[in-house]
Homo-oligomer: A and B are copies of this chain.
Amino acid sequence: MLRATSHFKEEHKKKKSSRLTLVVAEEIKTYVFANKLVPGDRLPNENELIEKFQMSKSTIREATRILEAQGLIKTRTGPGGGCFVHEVSENRTIALLTNYFYFKNMSIREIYQLRKVLEPEVSSELSGELNLKQIQELKTILNKYSDPPKSEEEEKSYHYNALQFHAKLAEFSKNELLKFIIKFMAKLLSEVTIDRRLFEPSNHELWQKGRNYQIKLIKALQKGEKEKTYKIMYNHMCFAEKLMAKQETLVGKKFVSFE
């Protein structure tokens, strides 16, 4: 234990600018990796960590807060409680990523440059691969905005659900990276403040047209017509971009919290 002390204090002297708190946080990560701990596994509790690293309670606690903020561990109080390795959640990661883009002033156009290639990619990948339950889940979302919206509240809910359709489709992909990016974009777009009336009377036909793309998409997905699925989604994206481009508001204009 005293060896631990001297070890870390020496480390500290070497890379002098990094604080003990950060050193401890890194060491705990190393510990998890070295012991091949997986989500759910328990770390030593506070007192044991204090013993192990010969650091004060506050230093240990600040270190665990850092790891927790990164989503790598969770803590529980009570008997049997303590620190547990935790699988970094999708929501938390999306939140952290959103914070990065907070300063980047993303435009609708930029997001659609990606959507136009990724959404068709994922839908053609899944064409003919979805089971009935999955198709049903998509249809359920579709039914949430079958009629033109009647209130501002409904507008927002429709906007959100239309994006959820894409998030759900991506959910079925086996490619975790593709899945994540599409969901992230859906999240960004769902936060676009609706300044102009996307769903004002004159736009009802456009609105209906957008939904029709999704209906046609489901049919093509079921039939497993990969080429056709790709094209429908691509056209859908081009159409959606035109619709969204009216929104001059930039996206992601707030820090987000986790979970």
Hey, which bits of chain A sit against chain B, CB under 8 A? 21, 25-26, 29, 32-33, 39, 58, 61-62, 65-72, 87-88, 90, 93, 96-97, 99-104, 106, 110-111, 113-114, 117-118, 121, 125, 174-178, 180-181, 185, 254-255, 257
Please classify the interface of chain A as helix (H, G, I), strand (E, B), loop, or mixed, using the class held by over half of its residues.
Answer: helix
With A62-B62, A113-B121, A118-B117 known to touch, is A106 a contact of B255 (CB < 8 Å)? Answer: no
Determine how close the nearest CB of chain B comes to the CB of A53; give it in whole angstroms: 16
Determine how close the nearest CB of chain B comes to the CB of A170; give it in whole angstroms: 13
Q: How many copies does the complex hold?
A: 2
Determine how close the nearest CB of chain B comes to the CB of A72; give it in whole angstroms: 6
CB–CB B178/A181 < 8 A? no
Q: Within the assembled complex, what's the spacing in Å between the Cα atoms of A62 and B185?
A: 31
CB–CB B87/A103 < 8 A? yes
Q: Within the assembled complex, what's the spacing in Å between the Cα atoms of A93 and B99?
A: 9
Determine how close the nearest CB of chain B comes to the CB of A239; give it in whole angstroms: 19
> Using Cβ atoms and an 8 Å threshold, which residues of chain B touch A174?
110
- Return the chain B residue nearest A67 by Cβ: B69
Q: Within the assembled complex, what's the spacing in Å between the Cα atoms of A121 and B97?
A: 22
Q: Which 8 A-B pairs have the closest CB atoms?
A: A69-B69, A93-B100, A66-B69, A104-B176, A88-B100, A110-B175, A117-B117, A62-B65
